């Protein structure tokens, strides 16, 4: 079973993604803020993918991404997709520069679209490895 870590502070959006990913056969772990995400990732084992909001309490998604993609992090090779409503070009560039594998605007995609994008990415990744 594939494992996804969903880091989202909005309970409605978080619950929606938990439901969609669970129905698609994923084991879903969640965090509601940036600090909780950093703490939870330590004891949860390996994830196949991380879905990370940018505007989070405690620590921003950008700060969390920096830690997740740092050379010593256990998550440095885990695909991270930003899921946000921030369409600012500078933030998008920064996320990719820090190692994000994708950047999704919540208002432009349905949960089904997000799952399809992630599945396509993982399928491509599996062909390469």
> What's residue 44's pLDDT?
80
The pLDDT value recorded for residue 8 is 97
Give the β-pairing of 26-31 and 2-7: parallel
- Residue 72 to residue 83: CA distance in whole angstroms: 24
* Residue numbers of the domain that contains 10: 2-128
Give me the half-sphere count of Cα atoms (radius 13 Å) on the Cβ side of residue 89: 0
What's the structural domain count of the chain? 1
What's the confidence (pLDDT) of residue 3?
95
User: Residue 121 sits in a domain of what CATH number?
Assistant: 3.40.50.2300
Burial class of residue 101 in the structure, from the number of CB atoms within 10 Å of its CB (0-12 exposed, 13-18 middle, 19+ buried): middle
First to last CA, the chain: 18
| pLDDT tens across the length of the chain (129 residues) | 899 999 999 999 999 999 999 999 999 999 999 999 999 998 787 999 999 999 999 999 999 999 999 999 999 999 999 998 888 899 999 999 999 999 999 989 999 999 999 999 989 887 655
CA distance 68 to 39: 11
User: What is the pTM assigned to this prediction?
Assistant: 0.93
């Amino acid at each position: 079973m594939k494992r996804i870590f969903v880091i989202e502070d909005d309970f409605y959006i978080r619950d929606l993604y938990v439901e969609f990913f669970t129905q698609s056969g994923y084991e879903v772990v969640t965090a509601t803020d940036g600090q909780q995400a950093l703490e939870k990732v330590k004891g949860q084992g390996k994830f196949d993918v991380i879905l990370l909001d940018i505007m989070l309490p405690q620590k921003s998604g950008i700060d969390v991404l920096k830690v997740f993609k740092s050379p010593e992090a256990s998550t440095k090779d885990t695909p991270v997709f930003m899921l946000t409503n921030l369409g600012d070009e500078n933030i998008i560039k920064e996320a990719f520069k820090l190692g994000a594998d994708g950047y999704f605007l919540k208002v432009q995609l349905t949960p089904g679209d997000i799952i399809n994008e992630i599945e396509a990415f993982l399928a491509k990744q599996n062909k390469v490895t």
